[in-house]
Amino acid sequence: MNVLVTAGPTREYFDEVWFLSNPSSGRTGFAIARVFADAGHDVTLVSGPTCLSAPVGVKFVPVTSTCELRDAVTQHVADAEVVIMAAAPVDYRPACPQAGKMKKTADKMLVELVRNPDILKGIGRNKGARILIGFALEAADLRSNALRKLTEKHLDLIVANSPSAFGGDRTSVEILGPGGVVDILDDVSKEELAGRLLDLVGNLSGGR
């Protein structure tokens, strides 16, 4: 199958130096891309800036901002039978990024931010026969917030995790579907999570 995976953070620049971002390492998305490619799928990995090397056998598309991520996803989604959005896109960007480097003059500074597109919600609106898997990063009310996102974004599965998953080798997640809890993985490697998603995609595609 053609599988489109996104990974990593995005960056939204205030000027040519300072940016708004988050600590996503990209490890989960890269592990998913690697595990699906090793299983023989055609994988495109669109990723924001990370320290990781592109997995062998994967088509790698680097991006920086959320709008660039949206553009790359839009370009590749038509061919994708499976979309797995493991990226952590920044939801707002500076309204008026400055050229050069901002100089510190005033004691206080107000920066206007404008909302970025919700990429996964956009794909969900035109889901077709695609299998769509999202992630939910929740600091509170993990399950209820994740289930709301699953419904709003028309997902087949959502992987709910907490900010403590950022950067580490291991993770603890709840995988939820429209019927509720599908699996709970406690302190597993990101490869093990990817392997479980591979199995679940196999089940979903077999049932279609």
Among 3, 32, 136, 200, binds ligand CTP (CB under 6 A): 136
Q: Which is nearer to ligand CTP, 145 or 189 (CB)?
A: 145
Shortest distance (Å) from residue 117 CB to ligand CTP: 6
30 is a site residue for ligand CTP (CB under 6 A): no
Give the single-character DSSP code of 26.
S
66 is a site residue for ligand CTP (CB under 6 A): yes
Q: Which is nearer to ligand CTP, 37 or 87 (CB)?
A: 87
27 is a site residue for ligand CTP (CB under 6 A): no
Q: Which is nearer to ligand CTP, 105 or 161 (CB)?
A: 161
85 is a site residue for ligand CTP (CB under 6 A): yes
Distance between CA atoms of residues 133 and 175, nearest Å: 10
Cβ-contact 152, 134 below 8 angstroms:
no
151 C-beta neighbours (distance < 10 Å), count: 11
Cβ-contact 64, 19 below 8 angstroms:
no
Stretch that binds ligand CTP, among 47-55, 118-126, 179-187, 195-203 (CB under 6 A): 118-126
80 is a site residue for ligand CTP (CB under 6 A): no
Q: Which residues pair with 6 in a beta bridge?
A: 46, 85
Among 44, 45, 135, 150, binds ligand CTP (CB under 6 A): 135
Q: Decide: helix, strand or coil at residue 205.
A: helix
Residue 22 known to be catalytic: yes
Angle between helices 190-206 and 27-38 (to 10 degrees): 50
Map 96-138 to HEC letters: CCCCCCCCCCCCCCCCCEEECCCHHHHHHHCCCCCEEEEEEEC
Stretch that binds ligand CTP, among 34-42, 92-100, 117-125, 194-202 (CB under 6 A): 117-125
118 is a site residue for ligand CTP (CB under 6 A): yes
- Token pair, residue 54, equals 């592109």
Q: Which is nearer to ligand CTP, 38 or 118 (CB)?
A: 118
149 is a site residue for ligand CTP (CB under 6 A): yes
Cβ-contact 84, 63 below 8 angstroms:
no
List the catalytic residues.
Answer: 22
Q: Which residues bind ligand CTP (CB under 6 A)?
A: 66, 85, 87, 89, 91, 116, 118-120, 134-137, 149
